[in-house]
Chain A
């Protein structure tokens, strides 16, 4: 290392450095291509289509933005959803993703590349995955040199956990947020290493982008203060730390408050308090260091004793006051939220809505193997590598992995935040291992050949030469690390340099046996190969289904079920533009985005009463349901039914949630009425309430005509009530595989023949007065 540094430019070593730079640039390009292309399985296997539910909303917002411009978007009040309430889109979304894709679309169009908004949206996530792996390279390079950086970038390019959220078509906030997260961390480390205000400012801007993109930004604004605190406690305070932290808090908080969905939360909620507390602490510490500089040691000691004793008394008084305040408040001073932060089991015990979501479950060990695969084996080695020696930058990544691995243990969703940390750690471990093994091989091979060729005098020099060239060759990392840390090195004491030098002198002899190194190298390569196979498999099989188009492989070939798009297309072609469509909230985003029709509820589940109203209607008998829907101006009701083809996540399987949510607001709906001896069934043993509710009727209407028996392939049973007629609804559309069925509300019957118009109003008021008790919309 030191040998390389002392060489003047123009020597073979400098050439090697230049070659290394070009090579690593090439590798980075390839990594970008890999990250992009591994996410294209969904497009190849299916087609270029937006996936699932939430991405459809983001897509619709992007469409609006590209059509109407930023100001219209910022002030957009959407009347197509939550009818009749509507939703203020501009103030309730994280705009980062939409603005990013909108900008990309705008740039492409202005240089005459006419891509559709949908294509841009589909490919935003893979593009940002490439960016994320480059950001990982930069971050890891700051920590352990560019060899580790390249390894980490390659690992991140294909880590399954991240692929699951960023395949082509998965147009969701996480797609850009992970890039923003890693890039913010990189800039923080860069500032910490260089002490440059330029990077500090960039860091605040990157943080702003992260706040724009994802609610997960709170992870950053808690992790960085924790690192600062850690540095202070372990005696690592330096002016660089101050420059890295203070501007971030001031600028970052100001910028965060500009995002409408965050606004004053940036200073008012408990998630941000840690950063302000550390902000105060770092100032106190900076003051102490300053005073220490201007006082003599003896004076300083006196001052410390004075301040500490006064401070202790003040602290005791404050603590006593706080204890008294907490004790006097009825809840013990803790809100549910802060309790669930301190005690992860709290939420699962007392907040069922959190506990019921599968994303919020704690993961088991196979989840780790599925999501980070062999990285789970390599991380401990990476941690140890970061501790030898521990620097400001490596202590940050250690803290990052500890926090993220703990949180991922509480909630499987946070595995996504763990993935970059695991990649960085594994990259460091792999790079170090390759370094040692190839170094040993190269050193021994060349020393053997030199032994044969030359006499003893030359062998004396050979090891030194080889050791250093071995280093530079395989990882330009070492020299790069140096160049990136130049600023940092300036401030280090000369003593440290000495120790580095002495280490290098020792390192010449640090080799492992030749054959063992070769075997170990082969094993590591096999491990890496297994990782690649696993990732490709996960990308191709596990995470690429768009869930809007379904396929099934059977002995007579591939079946494609495209019923959803068929039905949304039917809606948009056959209904009036202002018609209202009611369905369970899962399909709200898709209906507004694909059919462009007004919905009653959607996936942004902000109004429980509204959802409960739809749930109540679905659980009520036909007439009562008709009254509720009619009062909401609903023209069409859409249900999803999987009984014909065996699609398990249909409305009949979700029906108990509709009953529960409906019953939560309107007590005349009781779950027990729908269960026979505590069991949910739809066969002849089902309760009369179940057999007469709207959901049952809309799903199973004319179902018996499909096979003559009415055999439901999801519930694996014959249905209970096979022949019935609808009185208040009429079937208008059933998709090819019966997955989506659309019904129209029948018009009210005339009481007297003729004179329709005159009597219409009277009849409607008569109907509504009856339903007043059960219907909140009257």
Chain B
């Protein structure tokens, strides 16, 4: 096959050849169909063995195309797993839309290779970055060939981009995407009914002044909670989609919880510092509001000492972490003769 032929071209050619060759390898297609029906949302998990069985050891043209999603559980990346779910939506929608047309449905199979468990098969494709999607068309022999890959700038993590990729490369139509609704219809109707029933009771309670809203402890708890989450930089983690922690680049067993550099933070990092921020204030409030009422003097003494040690350590830790993360060194402006 000459290299300059475009992909759709190759696809047409392969389809025409398929009709002749499909007869010789019907078992593989059947096997794939059974694998597909047994897997969740129709995405077949390819292993080292199945890759050689369905791709490398089958002579071209193969009677089917494979769309492979390259995954890595070990990477622990939220966007990647989200993209994987989107990929599953496309697969499920494709199967549902072409349910009664086996000639279309059995031409394309959605697959997945995980780098962490099947690194050998993964290595065959020479993938440099994730997420990546590759179309193995019936005529593809060199798996390292980049023409079957999705363009780097097209990979934006949405099901629509996958659909576009498939439709532009294979001339098949995926059809409308079926995303599961957030709440099913029965759930919604039950919720509406519950609200409708409880409204009069709620109004009665509000008028009487007996709701949780009238309990100042609830308000106190919520206030401290909002404060805690805000100073932890939780909104930063949500908006930027930062993970709780990442794996070290050099040693994959080592987890990195603290990111050096002012402009980013990891989830666990923010929460732990938020806790340090809060623990000092809460201890101080406990000492000044509650501990003064304790009758035992020695109890007071022990707790205060404990609280002061904890507070001191917390403040020191935050100061240390801050200068480590930002690289700022605070000048103290002592008189120069003191140095």
- Report chain B residues within 8 Å CB of A536: 333
> Which of A233, A378, A520 has the most chain B CB within a 10 Å cutoff?
A520
B125 CB within 8 Å of chain A: no
Within 8 A of B (CB), among A613-646: none
Contact of A379 among B235, B239, B281 (CB under 8 A): B281
Are B200 and A312 interface neighbours, CB within 8 A? yes
A429 CB within 8 Å of chain B: yes
Given A365-B265, A377-B280, A429-B285, A516-B301 contact (CB < 8 Å):
yes
Are A533 and B330 interface neighbours, CB within 8 A? yes
Taking Cβ atoms with an 8 Å cutoff, the residues of B that contact A are: 199-200, 203, 206-207, 209, 213-214, 216, 219-220, 223-224, 226-227, 229-236, 238-240, 262-265, 269-270, 273-274, 277-278, 280-282, 284-285, 287-289, 291-293, 297, 300-301, 304-305, 308, 311-312, 314-315, 318-319, 322, 325-326, 328, 330-333
Are B230 and A406 interface neighbours, CB within 8 A? yes
- Report chain B residues within 8 Å CB of A72: none
- Report chain A residues within 8 Å CB of B301: 513, 515-516
Q: How far is the CB of B269 from chain A (nearest CB, A)?
A: 7
Within 8 A of B (CB), among A531-571: 533-534, 536-537, 540-541
A513 to B305, CA, bound (A): 10
- Report chain A residues within 8 Å CB of B325: 366
A35 to B240, CA, bound (A): 36
Given A365-B231, A387-B216, A511-B292, A374-B315 contact (CB < 8 Å):
yes
Are B326 and A370 interface neighbours, CB within 8 A? yes
Are A537 and B331 interface neighbours, CB within 8 A? yes
A388 to B219, CA, bound (A): 12
Q: How far is the CB of A349 from chain B (nearest CB, A)?
A: 8
0/1 string, A334-375, CB within 8 A of B gives 1: 000000000011001000000000000111111111100010
Are B281 and A345 interface neighbours, CB within 8 A? no
Taking Cβ atoms with an 8 Å cutoff, the residues of A that contact B are: 233-235, 304, 308, 312, 344-345, 348, 361-370, 374, 376-385, 387-388, 390, 398, 401-402, 405-406, 408-410, 429, 432-433, 435-436, 440, 510-513, 515-517, 519-520, 523, 527, 530, 533-534, 536-537, 540-541
- Report chain B residues within 8 Å CB of A361: 236, 263
Q: What's the A-B contact tally at a CB cutoff of 8 Å?
A: 188
Are A520 and B308 interface neighbours, CB within 8 A? yes
Q: How far is the CB of A140 from chain B (nearest CB, A)?
A: 17
Given A362-B239, A365-B265, A402-B223, A409-B203 contact (CB < 8 Å):
no
Are B216 and A520 interface neighbours, CB within 8 A? no
A574 to B31, CA, bound (A): 84
Given A233-B213, A376-B231, A387-B219 contact (CB < 8 Å):
yes
- Report chain B residues within 8 Å CB of A344: 235, 239
Are A433 and B288 interface neighbours, CB within 8 A? yes
Contact of B326 among A366, A388, A408, A409 (CB under 8 A): A366
> Which of B223, B233, B281, B328 has the most chain A CB within a 10 Å cutoff?
B281
- Report chain B residues within 8 Å CB of A440: 292
Given A362-B233, A387-B216, A433-B288, A402-B330 contact (CB < 8 Å):
no
> Which of B206, B234, B264, B328 has the most chain A CB within a 10 Å cutoff?
B328
- Nearest 10 pairs between A and B by C-beta? A380-B281, A384-B285, A409-B230, A409-B235, A362-B236, A516-B304, A381-B285, A377-B280, A364-B265, A381-B281
- Report chain A residues within 8 Å CB of B216: 387, 390
A408 to B231, CA, bound (A): 9
- Report chain A residues within 8 Å CB of B229: 409
Are B305 and A234 interface neighbours, CB within 8 A? no
Q: List 19 A-B contacts (CB under 8 A).
A: A365-B231, A365-B232, A366-B322, A366-B326, A377-B277, A384-B281, A384-B282, A387-B223, A390-B219, A406-B230, A406-B235, A409-B234, A429-B281, A440-B292, A513-B304, A517-B304, A519-B304, A530-B319, A537-B333
A401 to B222, CA, bound (A): 12
**In the complex, what residue of chain A is closest to B282 when comparing beta carbons?**
A380
**In the complex, what residue of chain A is closest to B272 when comparing beta carbons?**
A365
A512 to B288, CA, bound (A): 9
Are B227 and A379 interface neighbours, CB within 8 A? yes
- Report chain B residues within 8 Å CB of A378: 280-281, 284
> Which of A304, A364, A377 has the most chain B CB within a 10 Å cutoff?
A364
**In the complex, what residue of chain B is closest to A376 when comparing beta carbons?**
B277
Q: How far is the CB of B128 from chain A (nearest CB, A)?
A: 15
Q: How far is the CB of B156 from chain A (nearest CB, A)?
A: 12
Given A369-B318, A377-B281, A433-B288, A401-B227 contact (CB < 8 Å):
yes
A517 to B269, CA, bound (A): 33
- Report chain B residues within 8 Å CB of A368: 231, 233, 277
Q: How far is the CB of B250 from chain A (nearest CB, A)?
A: 24
Are A513 and B223 interface neighbours, CB within 8 A? no
Are A380 and B292 interface neighbours, CB within 8 A? no
- Report chain B residues within 8 Å CB of A537: 330-333
Q: How far is the CB of A330 from chain B (nearest CB, A)?
A: 19
**In the complex, what residue of chain A is closest to B228 when comparing beta carbons?**
A380
A582 to B269, CA, bound (A): 47
Q: How far is the CB of A410 from chain B (nearest CB, A)?
A: 5
Given A405-B230, A409-B234, A520-B270 contact (CB < 8 Å):
no
A345 to B282, CA, bound (A): 30
- Report chain A residues within 8 Å CB of B199: 312
Are A523 and B311 interface neighbours, CB within 8 A? yes
- Report chain B residues within 8 Å CB of A432: 288
Are A381 and B288 interface neighbours, CB within 8 A? yes
- Report chain A residues within 8 Å CB of B264: 364
**In the complex, what residue of chain B is closest to A405 when comparing beta carbons?**
B230
- Report chain A residues within 8 Å CB of B326: 366, 370
Q: How far is the CB of A703 from chain B (nearest CB, A)?
A: 32
- Report chain A residues within 8 Å CB of B220: 383-384, 387
**In the complex, what residue of chain B is closest to A382 when comparing beta carbons?**
B281
- Report chain B residues within 8 Å CB of A376: 231, 277
Contact of A383 among B224, B233, B234 (CB under 8 A): B224
- Report chain A residues within 8 Å CB of B214: 234-235
Contact of B270 among A365, A388, A510, A530 (CB under 8 A): A365
A410 to B236, CA, bound (A): 7
- Report chain B residues within 8 Å CB of A517: 304
Given A233-B206, A513-B304, A363-B227 contact (CB < 8 Å):
no
Contact of B223 among A398, A429, A533 (CB under 8 A): A398
A704 to B299, CA, bound (A): 77
Are B239 and A380 interface neighbours, CB within 8 A? no
Q: How far is the CB of B259 from chain A (nearest CB, A)?
A: 9
